[in-house]
A and B are shown apart, each in its own frame.
Chain A
Amino acid sequence: MSEPIFASAADLARDLAAGTLSSEEATRACLERIESSDGDVHAFLHVRADEALSDARAIDQRRASGEALGPLAGVPIAVKDAFCTTGSPTTCGSRMLEGWVPPYDATVVRRLKEAGLVILGKTNMDEFAMGSSTENSAFGPTRNPWDLTRIPGGSGGGSAACLAAFEAPLAVGSDTGGSIRQPASVTGTVGVKPTYGGVSRYGLVAMASSLDQPGPCARTVLDAALLHAVMAGHDPSDSTSIDAPVPDVVAAARAGDVAGMRIGVVTELSGEGYAPGVEQRFQEAVAALAAAGAEIVEVSCPHFSLALPAYYLIMPSEVSSNLARFDAMRYGLRVGDDGSHSAEQVMRLSRGAGFGAEVKRRVILGTYALSSGYYDAYYGSAQKARTLIIEDFDRAFATVDVLVSPSTPTTAFPLGERTNDPMAMYQADLCTIPSNMAGNSSASFPAGLAPEDGLPVGFQVMAPPLCDDRLYRVGAALERVLTERWGAPLLDALAGRDRLSEGGRA
């Protein structure tokens, strides 16, 4: 396919470097696609059309003047609305920050700009990144381009859906319990959660600081690696940023060689609660990697069963602390400032009006878990569970190079199905949370469509901390084998039909 909207970022970059395509043309194509399809998909909260075209023209001029540019210079990209961007609103999907324009850029955003990427706009998300469906966005849900009646995953549903809708070739996400990987899984795209500390959190609106990690979203494994290389690396502005060389993820994605690799299938991440089509495509992907020369073994991680419940103690505790900053004093929504209310009353009224139901639920849960007399039983024991999960990973990685599982137990569920059942919603992150708790790198890659509903299935790869390159090695091998089998990339099935304008399933 030669139209720019269907091209990979790597192919766009090649055409831009060769001078057969301008950044203005590529950017305009994406903006036109957003114009025609985002009314249905609603992946974007804010589109900076004029600024993006102006940025693209500036890159074209710099290229024309012979300036040496980075490998992704001129390629359009979408950014999750959790990252601070000067000149563009940053709402985190919340009424609390509606219309807020930050006075500084997140380090990730600054690096995108320095690398010459063209920011198209900000993508929709569950409020303050809390959710697995984007239905918690204060500005309305995003819809899954595979089936507009289904969820696109969350919290980064906008970043995943804009890729599957061919509105952008690349997107930035953030992953606290699966917010990059689960949306990637249900939209047939690639999503990577780097090693904790691998990508700077400076300027990412904090949800749970010991778990949050920015990462790349893309349609191909190589594209994700190219973006990863731009985003990653030490940042003195983030005290938890790792001061070590970034693994060569691009070389790993180009190699895609799993011969001799030992791949461990996690026993505990299968069985009851997993859709038959998810398990079938997962098993086929494992067999494909075996055929490509990997050695497959089964590995038990007995404490992974504690990851989800322990996460729902640690994450809300950190949330209750982090979201205390939204106090209506220096920025954000202020309600009741009419002279009759004290600062504390204004704080209460503003937080009552500005936060949605899920945010209130988690702040109050965290307040409870941290309160005097409950701390040891809740937060304290969750921290111990975290140790046991890390030990499970350590034991596993002593014998295998990577671990694999389905990315999420089911395919995209219908919009509205789990909005009144928080426990069911939380199950969507069952497979992704262990890597947030342990801080290791992890990714979701397309594994095909489930036979029962024709919706995408994701294949999760987990690698040790600072071994992010292994994710790309496995992902690229899988992508090559499966693309050969299908005769085309999975998303070509979507590109080939225009179900977006039909407002429903084909």
Chain B
Amino acid sequence: MPLTPNDVARLADLARIELSDEELAGLTGQLDLILESVQVVASSVPPETTPTSHALSLTNVFRPDEVRPSLPVEDVLAMAPAVEDDRFRVPRILEEAA
């Protein structure tokens, strides 16, 4: 089932990306082509195959819980888009009417 521009708009919404109408139209066709070409994966993999999430067999790694110096506040804030009182300043989280 081909994607519609509405589907792509919903995905862009989930991904928090503002798209122009032109971008939506272009992406819809391109994503359809890509999805068509990856269908072969689902259709040719035996369902009983064990999935691999990671090429290495990993075990959880722990380290001793030691206090270590963190980055200086001024270094971390140096590249922040906006700073207020030694903190990151962010736009309002709640809607005005709330």
Q: Report how far A292 CA is from B34 CA in the complex, Å.
A: 43
Q: Are A327 and B16 in touch, CB under 8 angstroms?
A: yes
Assuming the contacts A104-B71, A371-B14, asked whether A343 and B90 have C-beta atoms less than 8 A apart, the reply is yes
Within 8 A of A (CB), among B7-32: 8, 11-12, 14-19, 23, 26-27, 30-31
Interface 9-mer from A275-283, A376-384, A471-479: A376-384
Assuming the contacts A103-B71, A343-B93, A384-B45, asked whether A364 and B17 have C-beta atoms less than 8 A apart, the reply is yes
Q: Are B41 and A310 in touch, CB under 8 angstroms?
A: yes
Q: Report how far A332 CA is from B47 CA in the complex, Å.
A: 42
Q: Are A360 and B34 in touch, CB under 8 angstroms?
A: no
Q: Are B55 and A437 in touch, CB under 8 angstroms?
A: yes
Q: Report how far A390 CA is from B52 CA in the complex, Å.
A: 9
Interface string of A318-359 (1 = CB under 8 A from B): 001000100111111110110101111111110111010100
Within 8 A of B (CB), among A89-134: 100-104
- Chain B residues within 8 Å of A353, by CB: 18
Q: Kindly report which residue of chain A lies nearest to residue B44, judged by CB atoms.
A: A306
Q: Report how far A387 CA is from B71 CA in the complex, Å.
A: 40
Q: Are A360 and B16 in touch, CB under 8 angstroms?
A: no
- Chain A residues within 8 Å of B45, by CB: 306, 381, 384-385, 388
Q: Are A388 and B81 in touch, CB under 8 angstroms?
A: no
Q: Are B41 and A210 in touch, CB under 8 angstroms?
A: no
Q: Report how far A439 CA is from B53 CA in the complex, Å.
A: 11
Q: Are A309 and B37 in touch, CB under 8 angstroms?
A: yes
Expressed in whole angstroms, the minimum distance between the Cβ of A389 and any Cβ of chain B is: 9
Q: How many chain B residues have a CB neighbour from A under 8 Å?
A: 54
Q: Kindly report which residue of chain B lies nearest to residue A343, judged by CB atoms.
A: B91
Expressed in whole angstroms, the minimum distance between the Cβ of B80 and any Cβ of chain A is: 6
Q: Are B30 and A439 in touch, CB under 8 angstroms?
A: no
Interface string of A430-474 (1 = CB under 8 A from B): 000000011110000000000000000000000001000000000
Expressed in whole angstroms, the minimum distance between the Cβ of B74 and any Cβ of chain A is: 9
A438 contact from B55, B81, B82, Cβ within 8 A? B55
A210 contact from B27, B53, B79, Cβ within 8 A? B53
Expressed in whole angstroms, the minimum distance between the Cβ of B54 and any Cβ of chain A is: 5
Interface 9-mer from A20-28, A158-166, A236-244, A253-261: A236-244
Q: Are A377 and B42 in touch, CB under 8 angstroms?
A: yes
Is B67 at the interface (CB under 8 A from chain A)? no
Expressed in whole angstroms, the minimum distance between the Cβ of A434 and any Cβ of chain B is: 11
A101 contact from B49, B71, B79, Cβ within 8 A? B79
Q: Are B82 and A334 in touch, CB under 8 angstroms?
A: yes
Expressed in whole angstroms, the minimum distance between the Cβ of B62 and any Cβ of chain A is: 10
- Chain A residues within 8 Å of B49, by CB: 384, 387-388
Q: Are A344 and B16 in touch, CB under 8 angstroms?
A: yes
Q: Are A364 and B34 in touch, CB under 8 angstroms?
A: no
- Chain B residues within 8 Å of A360, by CB: 12, 17, 19, 23, 27
- Chain B residues within 8 Å of A328, by CB: 81
Interface string of A487-505 (1 = CB under 8 A from B): 0000000000000000000
Is A48 at the interface (CB under 8 A from chain B)? no
Q: Are A387 and B52 in touch, CB under 8 angstroms?
A: yes
Q: Report how far A332 CA is from B45 CA in the complex, Å.
A: 41
Q: Report how far A191 CA is from B24 CA in the complex, Å.
A: 37
Q: Are B54 and A342 in touch, CB under 8 angstroms?
A: no
16 pairs, A vs B, C-beta closer than 8 Å: A102-B79, A240-B56, A309-B37, A312-B37, A329-B88, A329-B90, A330-B81, A334-B82, A337-B81, A342-B92, A351-B15, A368-B3, A368-B11, A384-B52, A388-B45, A465-B56
- Chain B positions near chain A (C-beta within 8 angstroms): 3, 8, 11-12, 14-19, 23, 26-27, 30-31, 33-35, 37-42, 44-47, 49-56, 58, 61, 63, 71, 75-76, 78-82, 88, 90-95
Given A378-B41, A390-B55, A465-B55, 20 new contacts (CB under 8 A):
A210-B53, A320-B15, A331-B80, A332-B81, A334-B82, A342-B91, A342-B93, A351-B18, A360-B19, A361-B31, A361-B34, A364-B31, A365-B35, A381-B41, A384-B45, A385-B41, A387-B50, A422-B33, A423-B33, A423-B34
